[in-house]
Amino acid sequence: MMTKKEALLKAAKELFGECGYAETTFKKISERAGVALGLLTHHYGNKEKLFLAAGLDVLEHFLVVLQDACDRASNGREGALNFCRAYLDFSIDPDSNWLVLVRCSPYSDMKTSADRELMFKKFNEVHQLLEQQLWRGIEDGSIREILVKETVQILMSLLVGVNRTRVLTPYAPPHLYREAIDFASRALTPCNACE
């Protein structure tokens, strides 16, 4: 059994994902949650804070999944590629409420509030996770010599990009995600491993 507070957050995650920030109203949320309108501000303060709470909730879960994927790897290269696969899988899991995070994330084109800082900081943990895998791979020789910071951002950009192509645009070809993984793989793999 869910508490009313949880029901609100659930409804918020769904609706912010489905409708976007502006089109999601307190009325819609409270109705979907089957809960009184006033509880929203009571529990979450205001709309932006609720939005952030919804985004962070998904992000938190996302981080667990990513961490898991990295932990399952036996070397850095595998860890990095697991990370990428987990990222993309999560983004099309119908139960993950991914779209809230898309809209709330630092990569969103929505104008958001002061609390953006908190999201910036938390989302950074995603980058750190990938960075760890790259260092690990360089150490264990499974990844070739690269500029780590830059590569993290390039890989993240690639993931952000293919994800947006798939979940927001009509342009995604059938195996876009698979190709993206191959792309990443080639970028990391040492030259001698090419052959």
Binding site for DNA (CB under 7 A): 3-5, 23-27, 35-43, 46-48
20 binds, among its own copies, DNA, none (CB under 5 to 8 A by kind): its own copies
Rounded CA separation 193/144 (Å): 10
47, two tokens: 């709309």
Min CB(121)–DNA separation in Å = 22
Rounded distance, CA 53 to CA 119, Å? 10
Residue 147 touches its own copies, criterion: CB under 8 A: yes
**What three-state secondary structure class fits 152?**
helix
Residues 92-131 that bind its own copies (CB under 8 A): 99, 102-103, 106-111, 120, 124, 127
User: Which tokens hold the place of 82?
Assistant: 């697991």
Give the binding-site size for its own copies (rule: CB under 8 A).
Answer: 47
* Rounded Cα–Cα distance for residues 145 and 189 (Å): 9
71 contact choice in its own copies, DNA, none (CB below 5 to 8 Å, kind-dependent): none
What is the phi/psi pair of residue 14, to 5°? -65, -50
Between 36 and 92, CB nearer to DNA: 36
What number of other Cβ atoms are within 10 A of residue 171's Cβ?
Answer: 9
CA 36 centroid distance within chain:
31
- Identify residues 7-36 at the interface with its own copies (CB under 8 A): 19-23
Q: Give me the residues that bind its own copies (CB under 8 A), please.
A: 19-23, 99, 102-103, 106-111, 120, 124, 127, 147, 149-151, 153-154, 156-162, 164-165, 168-173, 175-176, 179-180, 183, 186-187, 191, 194
